[in-house]
Amino acid sequence: MKDNILKTYVRRDLKLNKIKGFTILLTIILSFIFINIMSLYSVSAKLIFQDKLENGHQASFVKIKPEEIEGIKSEESIRKIGIGYIFPEVGVEDINLRIAYMDSELRDLGNVNLIKGDYPKKQDEIIVSENYFKYVNQKADIGDKIDIDLGTGLSTYNLSGILYSEAVGETYPIFVSKEYVDKFGQTDNYISQISMKSPNLYSENELKEKIILLANKYGIEDKNVHFFDMYFYYMGFVNENQYYMILALGLILGLISFLIIHNILYVFALEDRKNIAILRLIGANKKQALYLINTRIRYLGIIGICLGTIGTFSLFFINEKDKLLFLFKQKPIYILIILILSSLYIFFVLKLSAISVKRDINRISAKELFTNSQSTSHLVKRKKNYFITPKFLAWLNVKRDPKKTTYMILSLSIGGILLITSYTFLQAFNPELLAKKSYVNHEISIILKENSVLDSSNDNLMNTIQKKNPIDKDLIHSLKKVNNIEKVEIIQGINAEFISPNGSSDNLNIEGYTTQQEEWIKDNLLEGDSSYQVLYANNGVIVNQPKEIQKYYGWDVKIGDEVKFKYQKKEFKAIVIGITDILTGNGYFYVPAESLYQLADENSNLNYELRLSLKDKSLISQEKTISDVKNLINKYPLKLDTYLNAVDEYKVSLKTSKKLLLSITFIILVMGVGNLINTYLSNIVSRRNEMSLFNLIGMTKSQRSKMLMTENMYYMKRILLITLILGAISSYTLYIFISRDKIIGGMNYKFPIIEFLVYALLIYILGNITLKTADNIFIKQR
């Protein structure tokens, strides 16, 4: 029977105390939504990337025989392996044809699936790009015969299929059959791509080691194994750091949730004193008195979680519809797990808050029936010669319950600290300065779009590209004539085998070092010399990213080490003269540009990038120059990267970060402000009789208002002081941490003084409005 009475009391109390009930319910809902959305976003992003990577490839084998492929296919660890062959590009008038053979697995791995008809099976069957027919203004359909030169003279072929794809520059793909490849005797120079089963179960090093062991088992040399770097990059896209960040945010939110919920439950307990005293008078024990708090927790928790679940799916669907649908279709169990864990977290915070007020509940006895409110006599004794003034009464109101005061101050202070820290990060993240790290002395970069001398693993193809490279003297001369271009810097490079002092080797790119880069390299030099003349005179090399080289090749780079470079039958020995750590560079090795020709022929065109610096760097001038350059290189398979594009990309990233951080801050501030309003209203309600007595003995409206405003100022001073000091410490600590990052570091520290002042003004005004509203509603009516 008592339990039924207590349940009825709790239900009635929640209905009557709508403000407190709404405040704690809002805190539960916002906490639940925040935790769920962060978890769902993180898990869905990781699972989507894993799904994409599971269906992709992790490595390529070059110079491989078809029979070796058949053996690898039988391995249990292989999900799929595709085989193909790429011929040197064929120039036909002002266009290029890329002739290639790809089996069905390789086409699937390369997402080459927009084909109408059948793949070539016979020597005289081919697939031609639809865009090629548009270019030559010719109509053709499957089964037609077409005359085309694939590099061996004009011949007639049967059209077995049509490929729906865009041309790369003026390069058009042509697919041929395996018989066509075998006709030229290319039996040991195929390429293949492999996709391992469940690759995400391995670490990067474990997966690479597994692939190397597999290659060695079938006689494939390590140098002919090329890992798909983008796979391993995306493999860590949702990495441990993100989970640490989510954990840290969860802990912050958990602390704030605890402070707010504890404060509200504590206020409930204070207002329940007389009701609990009645229960104790009629025989209720301490456990039954605590039942009031536990029942509130159960009701509020269940309602908050139900509403929070609806809010979570609504907000996540609006912002991340694809990710939510993916989870429902592929991994619905993850949604259930996240909801269960979030619910347990919320009940844990509620229960912890209840435990913290347990001692206060246990101390309530029947004598509470004969007291009006919490005693302040012990506070008055601390004051000698005091006068009853509005300021003194405000001091008594604040000091009578230091626990409630402390929790309220802390909850709002943490929200302010997070606000300051967030804005410090956003202001330090300057898109223009970040873009300038990649565009130190230039504004426009022109590079080969694909199959450049730096990413090709086919020697014959590389030779062809070096002879047909569109970045030649004529193009450079034309670019120099473009209005507003001040200087054209030519970057050269070659893909060759490097052999470290410990014998490890791999095919890597070597960049040609020029005097124009000397100052830039010097600024990033860890040790040694960056002088072009010293390098050229001593057959020197500057080694970049020594930690990465140590990780992948076991070579602890030191000044004076000798490293070898091999290309075909040529060899170049170089001495390590300098060591750098440049993340925005194009490779591991810098040698004098003239030294590159010790590996390549003198007639080779090793140019792979042009860096253009402009006279007028204003926004309008840059856009006009970019347009002129695009029109000039449009007919070539070249890619244009610009400083303005980099700025735009960083702005998009900044916008995403800003949206996330401000959303988190907003949620926490709403919870904190809700707690402030609830605390102020509760203070007024709990002292209604006391305030009425003050009115009877002569307190005027202005004196009462002054007392309430003084009370508000007491809270505000401490909240803002804590926010200012700890916010400055935390924001500067974050700035120092960011500055150490090689990519986004080097920003200027700027304390968000405007945001702090807006925050201070906002909570001060809200406090005043709340107290004045409570004064009008609860005091004047008495």
Alpha-carbon gap, residue 223 to 564, rounded angstroms? 14
The model's confidence at residue 777, banded by pLDDT at 50, 70 and 90, is low
- What pLDDT does residue 771 have? 77
* H/E stretch holding 353: helix 332-356
Pairing outcome for strands 171-176 and 95-102: parallel
More confident residue, 158 or 96: 158
Q: What is the pTM of this model?
A: 0.57
pLDDT in tens, 181-197: 888 766 667 888 888 88
Contact in structure between 513 and 521 (CB atoms under 8 Å) = yes
More confident residue, 449 or 752: 752
- What pLDDT does residue 286 have? 67
Of 199-208, 279-288, 291-300, 703-712, the one with minimum mean pLDDT is 279-288
Q: Which two tokens stand for residue 405?
A: 């005061």
Transcribe 448-478 into DSSP letters. Answer: ESSS-TTT---HHHHHHHHHH-SSSHHHHHH
- What pLDDT does residue 455 have? 41
- What pLDDT does residue 96 have? 75
Alpha-carbon gap, residue 188 to 210, rounded angstroms? 23
- What pLDDT does residue 452 have? 39
Mean pLDDT of 332-336: 87
Q: For 385, which DSSP code?
A: S
Mean pLDDT of 135-146: 83
101 pLDDT above the threshold of 60 = yes
- What pLDDT does residue 704 have? 75
- What pLDDT does residue 744 have? 58
The model's confidence at residue 161, banded by pLDDT at 50, 70 and 90, is confident
Mean pLDDT of 198-206: 76
Residues counted in the chain: 782
pLDDT in tens, 346-371: 888 778 777 766 666 666 665 555 55
- What pLDDT does residue 561 have? 92
Give the residue from 167, 110, 182 showing the smallest Cα distance to 135.
Answer: 167
- What pLDDT does residue 454 have? 38
Q: Which amino acid is at 543?
A: V
Phi then psi dihedrals of residue 195, to 5 deg: -120, 120
2 pLDDT above the threshold of 50 = no
The model's confidence at residue 672, banded by pLDDT at 50, 70 and 90, is low
Alpha-carbon gap, residue 460 to 151, rounded angstroms? 14
Q: Is the dihedral of CA 715, 716, 718, 722 positive or negative?
A: positive
Alpha-carbon gap, residue 382 to 493, rounded angstroms? 81
More confident residue, 750 or 235: 750
- What pLDDT does residue 456 have? 43
The model's confidence at residue 386, banded by pLDDT at 50, 70 and 90, is low
Mean pLDDT of the chain: 76
Contact in structure between 581 and 546 (CB atoms under 8 Å) = yes
Alpha-carbon gap, residue 612 to 479, rounded angstroms? 9
Beta pairing partners, 494: 510
453 pLDDT above the threshold of 50 = no
- What pLDDT does residue 542 have? 92
Q: Which two tokens stand for residue 2?
A: 């008592």
690 pLDDT above the threshold of 80 = no
Helices (H), ranges, 571-642: 619-633
The model's confidence at residue 289, banded by pLDDT at 50, 70 and 90, is low
Mean pLDDT of 612-634: 88
More confident residue, 690 or 744: 690
390: helix, strand or coil:
helix
Mean pLDDT of 296-313: 85
- % of the chain with per-residue pLDDT over 90: 4
- % of the chain with per-residue pLDDT over 70: 71
- The secondary structure of the chain in percent helix, strand, coil, rounded to multiples of 5, reads 60, 20, 25
> Which of 182-191, 372-381, 388-397, 565-574 holds the top average pLDDT?
565-574
- What pLDDT does residue 559 have? 93
- What pLDDT does residue 451 have? 40
**Greatest Cα pair distance in the chain:** 114
Mean pLDDT of 656-680: 70
More confident residue, 444 or 165: 444
Mean pLDDT of 421-430: 76
Q: Which two tokens stand for residue 38?
A: 């962060």
- What pLDDT does residue 508 have? 80
- What pLDDT does residue 614 have? 92
Q: Which two tokens stand for residue 518?
A: 């000397």
pLDDT in tens, 550-600: 877 889 999 999 999 988 778 889 999 999 887 555 578 999 888 888 888
CA angle (297 as vertex; 294, 301 as ends), nearest 5:
150
> Within a 13 Å sphere around the CA of 536, how many CA atoms are in the beta-carbon half?
14
